[in-house]
Amino acid sequence: VLCLMGNIAALEITRKQAEERLAQSETELRYLSAQLLRAQEDERKRLAQELHDGIGQSISAIKFKLETCMKQIRDNPNSGAAGQLDSLLPMVQNTVEEVQRIAVDLRPFIIDDLGLVATLRWFLRQFQNTYSSIRLDNRIGLEEQEIPESLKIVIFRIAQEALNNVAKHSRAKRVHVALRKRKDRIELLIKDNGVGIEGDSTASIPSCGKGFGLSSMKERTEFSGGMFRLDTGPSAGTSIISSWPLKVSAQYR
């Protein structure tokens, strides 16, 4: 009887533990769903703002200029207003370039055509051309076929976000980017010699990550089966390391 009662008690404990784990999993799932919805809305808000402030204003200016020239031509065909249309070409070119930039932000098309390695090298060249005061060196030590397909956009987005942070916030003079195989892991490293960020470790991301995209980089890494590490501090520079076990990474192919 005692043995039976002990077994019943053990089963009851196991049942309660299972219920607690299930409740915890449901809570985590709701949290992740809320985070995903928030990220989607933040991205839509950012895109809408860019379209309004950039392309929207450019097109409005072009429209106004065209209407003005057409009115002048109608009122006086010999006014020479047609020659003013030449001034629209730079405005149109700038608008085209802005559309291309937003398209790359949404999804860099060359990553589908040429792969991550070529896309990353292209992006690093673009970064160096734009921010020539920052010395950038890089080492890409992986072949395209070694990188799981689903990790390619993840790695690119993390590198993109990290380098945007370097350009906007770090005041760095030098940044190093590495994509390599290290022991049994795929590793992305972005390291700068800038002013650093308040807080000195990954654990401080909730407090120091606001405005720097650190939470986004951490979530991208962990949701794809990897680990994220932040090493930083005031005047100590910043190192961002995202890594994925090769065996785990293979599951995401």
User: Which stretches of the chain drop beneath a pLDDT of 50?
Assistant: 206-211, 249-252
Q: For residues 158 and 243, state if they share a domain.
A: yes
Report the half-sphere exposure of 75 (CA within 13 A, side-chain side).
9
Q: For residues 240 and 205, state if they share a domain.
A: yes
Query: For residue 139, is it left (φ>0), alpha (ψ between -120 and 50) or beta?
Result: beta
Nearest of 241, 172, 169 to residue 202 by alpha carbon: 241
Q: For residues 65 and 78, state if they share a domain.
A: yes
Which pLDDT score, from 0 to 100, does residue 103 have? Answer: 79
Q: State the residue range of the domain holding 151.
A: 108-250
Which pLDDT score, from 0 to 100, does residue 251 have? Answer: 47
Q: For residues 167 and 197, state if they share a domain.
A: yes
As given in the structure block, the two tokens for residue 246 are 């090769």
The residue ranges of DSSP E strands in the chain, in sequence order, are 135-140, 174-182, 185-192, 227-232, 238-245
What are the pLDDT digits (tens) for 106-164? 778 889 889 999 999 999 999 999 999 999 999 999 999 999 988 999 999 999 999 99
Give kind and range of the element (H or E) at residue 91: helix 88-106
As given in the structure block, the two tokens for residue 98 are 């802005």
Which pLDDT score, from 0 to 100, does residue 81 have? Answer: 76
Nearest of 66, 72, 57, 73 to residue 87 by alpha carbon: 66
Q: For residues 67 and 132, state if they share a domain.
A: no
Q: For residues 67 and 25, state if they share a domain.
A: yes
Domain's final residue, options 59, 87, 106: 106
Which pLDDT score, from 0 to 100, does residue 2 have? Answer: 65
Which pLDDT score, from 0 to 100, does residue 178 have? Answer: 98
Q: For residues 175 and 52, state if they share a domain.
A: no
Q: For residues 122 and 134, state if they share a domain.
A: yes
Q: For residues 112 and 101, state if they share a domain.
A: no
Dist CA 122 CA 9 (whole Å): 63
Domain's final residue, options 71, 106, 141: 106
Q: For residues 96 and 124, state if they share a domain.
A: no
Domain of 115, CATH number, reads 3.30.565.10
Count of helix runs (H) and strand runs (E) in the chain: 9, 5
Q: For residues 209 and 236, state if they share a domain.
A: yes
CB distance 48 to 88 below 8 Å = no
Domain's final residue, options 87, 106, 125: 106
Dist CA 38 CA 234 (whole Å): 30
Number of domains in the chain: 2
Torsion angle, alpha carbons of 39, 45, 46, 50, to 10:
160
Q: How far are the Cα atoms of 55, 154, 174, 195 from residue 192, in angstroms, in the given order?
A: 33, 21, 6, 9
Q: For residues 196 and 214, state if they share a domain.
A: yes
Dist CA 212 CA 166 (whole Å): 10
The pTM of the whole model exceeds 0.85:
no
